[in-house]
Amino acid sequence: MTHRGDEKLVLRGVGKRFGERHVLRDIDLDIPAGQFVSLIGPSGVGKSTLLRLVAGLEPPSDGRIDMLSRAPQPDIRMMFQEDRLMPWRSVLRNVTLGLRGRDAQARALLAAVGLAGRENDFPVVLSGGQRQRVALARALIHEPELLLLDEPFGALDAITRAAMQLLLEQLLARQPRTVLLVTHDVEEALMLSDRVLLMRDGRVARDLAIGLERPRHRGDPVLAALKEELLDGLLAAEAAR
Ligand SMILES: Nc1ncnc2c1ncn2[C@@H]1O[C@H](COP(=O)(O)OP(=O)(O)OP(=O)(O)O)[C@@H](O)[C@H]1O
DSSP letters of 158-199? HHHHHHHHHHHHHHHHHS--EEEEE-S-HHHHHHH-SEEEEE
* 2 pLDDT tier (thresholds 50, 70, 90): very low
Percentage of the chain modeled with pLDDT above 90? 89
Band (pLDDT 50/70/90 cuts) for residue 1 is: very low
Contact 170, 215 (CB under 8 A): no
**What is the distance between the alpha carbons of residues 95 and 228, in angstroms, rounded to a whole number?**
39
Q: Are strands 62-68 and 8-18 parallel, antiparallel or unpaired?
A: antiparallel
With a 6 Å cutoff on the Cβ, whether 49 touches ligand 1 is yes
- Is residue 3's pLDDT more than 70? no
Tell me how many degrees the CA angle 229-32-99 measures, rounded to the nearest 5.
115
Task: State pLDDT tens for residues 158-213.
Answer: 999 999 999 999 999 999 999 999 999 999 999 999 999 999 999 999 999 999 99
Largest CA distance in the chain: 53
Q: Please report which confidence band the pLDDT of residue 5 belongs to, taking 50, 70 and 90 as the band edges.
A: low
- CA 6 / ligand 1 centre spacing (Å): 32
Cα→Cα distances 51→80, 184, 187, Å: 11, 14, 20
What are the boundaries of each domain within the chain? 85-142
| Whether the CB of 18 sits within 6 Å of ligand 1 | yes
Closest atom of ligand 1 to 51 CA is 18
pLDDT at 4 over 70: no
CA angle, 48 as apex, 44 and 49 as ends, to 5°? 85
CB of 44 within 6 A of ligand 1: the answer is: yes
* Interval 34-56 mean pLDDT: 96
The complex scores an ipTM of 0.97
Residue 84 identity (one-letter amino acid) = R
Q: What is the pTM of this model?
A: 0.94
Tens of pLDDT, residues 225-237:
999 999 999 999 8
Alpha-carbon gap, residue 106 to 103, rounded angstroms: 5
Q: Using 50, 70 and 90 to split pLDDT, how confident is the model at 71?
A: confident
23 lines ligand 1 (CB under 6 A): yes
